[in-house]
Structures are given as structure tokens and as C-alpha cells.
Amino acid sequence: MRKQLPKGNRKLLHAWAFYDWANSVYSLVIASAVFPIFYGALTLIKDENGKILDDTVVFLGIDFNNDTLISYVTAAAFLVVSIISPLLSGIADYVGNKKIFLKFFCYLGALSCIGLFWFSIEYLWFGLLCYFLALIGFWASLVFYNSYLPDIAYPDQQDKVSAKGYSLGYVGSVILLVLCLAMILMHDTFGFDDEGLPTRLSFVLTGVWWIGFSQYTYYYLPKGNKNQKFTSRVLFNGFRELRGIWRSLKHNIALKRYLAAFFVYSMAVQTIMLVATYFGIEELDWGTTDATTGLIVSILLIQLVAVLGAYLTSRASAKFGNIAVLIVLNCIWIAICAYAYTITSPQQFYVTAAFVGLIMGGIQSLSRSTYSKLIPENAVDTASYFSFYDVSEKIGIVIGMFSYGYVAQATGSIRYAILFFIVFFVVGLILLFRVPRTGAISKESA
């Protein structure tokens, strides 16, 4: 039997971070790049010049704006994740087998990605179901993945290893996206007679990559931190633990105020990440430029710059403190949203993408590690703490996606939703100023 690696071990930290390499292909290929373009091609009717003639989709006998439909499905999936996360993480913490839940949702998500191979307008329900389950699998697995961070890394290691995970994810997902892009754009060279087949194969490759590379993480991660028997009382143990964590927040002012700020600004960050490609498809005048190539190039730009952003943010947090850096990042987001509201050309979109990439990796990795540092040092049920974190994030996304969908349906343009995002960042910024600069997140202890 393989000996368990001790907390703080470099090989263990690398194995944990490597799950980002495995699963981030979902967030790039499915959530951001290939699938949104594929979905747009299926659901939009355009003239020979690329002008949109009709964006209506009939689903369950109801007419939807195509953006509204996918945003509602996305919001519904996040709502499911927010409900099941405390249930499952509570069980995982109690019986001490977080790894089995991490594997289950990984496989659910990956196999659902493979199922998108059969997405078609004739069987829209099946494609949306696979998209729905893939999203649940990805985000639910992150509850258990994130909860391992305080178990495998000491506080002074957590910023760095969190940033390393995001960086590995960006690099790995870019490698697969480049391969998918090559197949799509050079389908004749690869021997594909059907132009749509390489796009569908991209979904299969995503699932296979996710399952295959995650095995390295599973080999080294510990089973869990408890070993108790499963009983009927355990079923709702997660909700009881969340209630206990909610009550404990009154004694942890820094964590309570940070969570409030995170809930608001993350609402905007995550929604922007989910809708950016749809914005590029419908709101920009691509002219003679191929929209598919332009959008994927911009997404690749975001991913590559994000590696630098995660690194720079980790260095900045060590020098200035976590909260101070998060305040600056929110200010930059406000400026980006104000600029994005005005853009109409691909060139402007590329500029926006570069700045988004620079701060996207930073705000995601730093938000996770800041929360991890604020968890009490003697906490044993870390999965429940991270479930609370993830539930806050997911409920925020539900609100953000429903707002986005409503605006798209009411105005016929998703451009106006950016105004909502600016409000979220401003409120998040105000709340961040109220977080005490003490303890593990101050620059003195960084």
C-alpha cells in the first residue's frame, strides 16, 4: 500500500494543482470557446453577410432568445450545484472520503462533455441535458477539490499553490484548445469531410482529457480526514454544518465581511466568463474576419495572459496583502466593463480580452486562497467551509445569469447587461474596504 505523503509535501501539492490541468479544459472548450460558437451556429439564422436574421429558439414549445435559453439552463445547473454541494460535502467530511465524490463528479462532467458529440437542433433537449450535467459535474467536483487546499498545504503555501493550479489549468486547456482549433480550421488536412465533425470531436477530447489526467491527482490525494461510519443522520449533516458555519461567522468578522464582498464581485466575474463569447458572437461587427477564428484567438489570449496574471497577483499579495490587491483588481474590472460597453470591433475585443486575462487569473486564485487563509486553523470539516464558499459563488452566478438572460430577452441586446456587472463590482469594492486587514491576509504575515 502506498504511503500517504505528508502535508506540505511538494509532490502532493503538485498532484493537487494538477487537477486544474485536467478539468480546466471544460471551462475553456465547453464554457468559453468551442461550445458557445457551436451553439450560436446551431441557433442563429444569418444572411450571406453574417447579419443575424433570427435568434429565436423553440424549446418545450416556448420561444426563447437563444442567449436567454442557454443562460437559464446555466443558471438552473448552478442552482442544482448550490443545493447539492452542502449535502455532499457534509457527507464527505463526516465519512472522510472526499476523493470518491471528487471522482464521481469528474466522471459525470467528462462523460457529459462526450455526450455533446450528439448535440443537434432536432434533439435540443439531449444537448442541453448534457450541457446541464457537464456543468454540474465540473462545479460540484470543485467543491471537493478546493476543500483539499487547507488539508494538503500550510497557510504560507496556499497562495502559491492556488496560483500554480490556475496556471497549470490555463496552460493545459490552451494546449487542447489549440489542437481543437487546428482540427476545426484545417479539417481537410486532418481528413474530415464533414466540417462539423471536428467541433463535435472537440467535446469528446475534452472528456477524455479530463478523465485521463485527473488520475495523477487521484493517485496522490488522501482519502479524507475522517473515518466514521455512514448513518441516516449523515444525510443532512452538510446542511447542519453549514448552519453551524453561518452561526460561527458572527465570531469571525473578517471571514463574514470577506464572504459578503466575494459574493457580490464574484457574481459579476463568473457571469462575464460565461457570457463573453456569446457577447462576441452577437454584438461585434466582424466584417471580413472569420468570427470563429477571432473569438478563439481572443480566448487563447485570455488564457495565456491569465498565467502571468495569476503569478503577478500571487507576488503582489505577498507584498501588499490579499485584500488590498483584491480592491485594485475590482477597480480594474470596473474600468474594463465601462470600456466593454462601448466596443464594436474585433480589435477592441482583443484589447479587452488581454486585460480580462491579466486580472481573471489573479482574482480567481487570490479569492480562493484568501478564503482558505481565513478559515480557522483548527477547522476539521474543511469541505463544509468550502461548500459554504462555493454555495455563495453559485447563488451569485444564478442571480447573474438570470439577470443577463432577462436583459437579453427584454432588450434584444446583451450589451446592457454590462451595466449590471459594473454595479456588482462597485458594491463588491465597497464591501472589501470593510474587511479587517489583520491575520493571515495582511501584508505583514504574507
Please report, in tens digits, the pLDDT of each residue of the chain (446 residues total): 567 787 878 888 888 999 999 999 998 889 888 888 888 778 766 656 555 656 677 777 777 777 788 888 998 998 998 888 777 766 666 666 788 889 999 999 999 999 999 998 888 889 999 999 999 999 889 878 887 887 888 877 887 888 788 788 878 888 998 898 888 878 777 667 676 788 899 999 999 999 999 999 999 888 765 555 656 566 666 677 777 777 777 777 888 888 889 989 988 888 888 777 777 777 777 766 667 777 877 877 777 787 788 788 888 888 888 888 899 999 999 999 889 888 888 888 888 888 888 888 788 878 878 888 888 776 666 666 777 787 888 888 888 888 887 877 777 777 887 877 898 899 999 999 988 866 555 554 43
Q: CA 100 to CA 197: how far, in whole Å?
A: 34
| Residues with Cβ within 8 Å of residue 416, at least 6 apart in sequence | 407
* DSSP-derived 3-state class of residue 243: helix
Q: Determine contact, residues 394/266, Cβ cutoff 8 Å.
A: no
* Element spanning 64, H or E: strand 62-65
Please spell the DSSP secondary structure of 109-127, one letter per residue.
Answer: HHHHHHHGGG--STTHHHH
Cell of 439: 491575520
Q: Please tell me the pTM assigned to this model.
A: 0.75
Per-residue pLDDT, 444: 43
Report CA dihedral (361, 362, 365, 366) to the nearest 10 degrees.
-170
Count of other CB atoms within 10 angstroms of residue 317: 26
Greatest Cα pair distance in the chain: 64
41: burial class by Cβ within 10 Å (0-12, 13-18, 19+)? middle
Q: CA 67 to CA 412: how far, in whole Å?
A: 10
| CATH C-level class of 10-48+55-222+234-441 | mainly alpha
* DSSP-derived 3-state class of residue 62: strand
Per-residue pLDDT, 330: 93
Task: Tell me the CA distances in angstroms from 196 to 15, 42, 193, 267, 355, one per residue in order.
Answer: 36, 11, 9, 34, 32
Q: CA 411 to CA 419: how far, in whole Å?
A: 13
Task: Tell me the CA distances in angstroms from 300 to 178, 184, 378, one per residue in order.
Answer: 8, 15, 41
Residue with cell string 439564422: 45
Q: Assign 3-state DSSP to the chain and report helix, strand, coil percentages, each to 5.
A: 75, 5, 20
Q: CA 446 to CA 441: how far, in whole Å?
A: 7
Q: Determine contact, residues 91/383, Cβ cutoff 8 Å.
A: no
